[in-house]
Structure formats: structure tokens, C-alpha cells
Structure 1
Amino acid sequence: MDPISLQSPFKPIQTAKLQSEPISSGEAQESFKSLLSHALSEVNSMQNESSKKTEDLALGKPVELHDVMITGQKASVSLQATIEIRNKVVEAYQEMMRMQV
């Protein structure tokens, strides 16, 4: 039986260090782009793993039901977190666009 490990697709956000010197706009964009790309690829890999285990279970391959359920829940939670983060980013963008200069 494998121990349950809590993996977050947003781990780079949690372990990011604050920089003492300012970075350029281009560097910030590239950093954000790579962070977002990494997080989305992690969510995608969780979704793919869940689909594969579900398919293996349906085909009658030797897969434990609890593993399939845990993998599915991990994928679901990570997708929901990603959707909520997207919603907050869109909301922040819309709020900035409503600001008067």
C-alpha cells in the first residue's frame, strides 16, 4: 500500500523566495509564464493519470479501486483549484480595467 502524498501543482508558488532587488517587466512575465505553464502541466498530468487508472479499472486490469478513487479526487481538486485561481486572476484584471486613471 502506497502512502498518500499531497502534491500541489502550485508548489513553486509556495516555495518562491522574495527577491530583494526589482526585476524587469520581461523577466517577471517570463517567470510568471513558466510558473503558470508548470502548474498547468502538473494539473494535466494528474488528469491523464486519473483517466489511465479509470480506463485500466474498466478494462479489468489489476488496479486497486481505492487508488483509482484517490487519483480521481486529486485530479478533481487540482482542477478546481486551477479554475478558482483563473477566476481570481480574471476578476483582478477586470477590476484593474475599471480603475480610472
Structure 2
Amino acid sequence: MQINQLVSHLPNTISINGNSKKTEIENFNKENNFGNYLKNAIQEVNQLQLQSDKATNMLAEGKKIDLHEVMIAGQKASISMQAALEIRNKAVEAYQEIMRMQV
């Protein structure tokens, strides 16, 4: 494989002949920015919480659902929420550490 083929697959590079890939980089950044990632992650946590609530309500109403399915949904929601909280805590901690740095 030639190096030009390798470089063409990297979104944040400049090609060997010096031509800028500005539009490719801008498109990559629009689709894959941190805000979109964070939004999708929060929506996924919320979706798991809603699924857990729905399963719990179905069990409480006596509808046909297995107890193990309700417990699995609850654990998935719990673990995803704990992970989101830990990520938030680490982000706040990193921000506080940056703010303590002397310029």
C-alpha cells in the first residue's frame, strides 16, 4: 500500500502534495464532535432508564414479563447511570485541576 493511500484515510492530515483537506476535516468535525458524542451518551442512559421503568411498571401491573428481564433492565440502567456519574466526576476533577494551574 502506498503512503498516499494511507494518508487519504486519515481525516486530520494534509496530503503529501500539500493540498489541504479542509472540507474533509470540517465534515469530520461536524459529524464527530464531542457535543454530539455527549448528547448521544446521555440519550442512551435515558433510554435505558425508561426501559427499566417500563419493565418495572409492567411487572407491577401483572402483565406478562419475566422477573429476570426486569432485573436485567434495572441493572443495565443502574450501571449506565453510575458510569455517567463517574465520567462527569472525572471531567469536573480535570476542569478543577486545569483551573488550579498557574499561567
Q: What are the equivalent positions in structure 2 for 1:44-83 lying under 5 Å apart?
A: 44-83=46-85
List runs of 5+ in structure 2 lacking aligned partners. Answer: 1-9, 15-24
| Matching residue's letter, 2:13 | E
Aligned length: 81
Identical positions, percent: 56
Which structure is higher in RCO with an 8 Å CA cutoff and minimum separation 6?
A: 1
Report deviation, 1:20.
4.5
List runs of 5+ in structure 1 lacking aligned partners. Answer: 1-17
Q: RMSD in angstroms over aligned alpha carbons?
A: 2.1
Superposed structure 1 runs of 4+ greater than 2 Å apart: 18-24
In terms of Rg, which structure is larger? 2
Q: 2: CA distance between counterparts of 1:52 and 1:37? A: 22
| Matching residue's letter, 1:42 | E
Q: 1: CA distance between counterparts of 2:95 and 2:11? A: 24
Q: 1:95 to 1:19 in 2, by over 3 A?
A: farther
| Matching residue's letter, 2:83 | A
1:21 corresponds to which of 13, 17, 38: 13
Q: Secondary structure at the match of 1:90?
A: helix
**CA deviation digits over 1:5-34, x for unaligned, max 9?**
xxxxxxxxxxxxx8543968xx48x70000
Q: Could you tell me the TM-score, scaled by structure 1's length?
A: 0.73
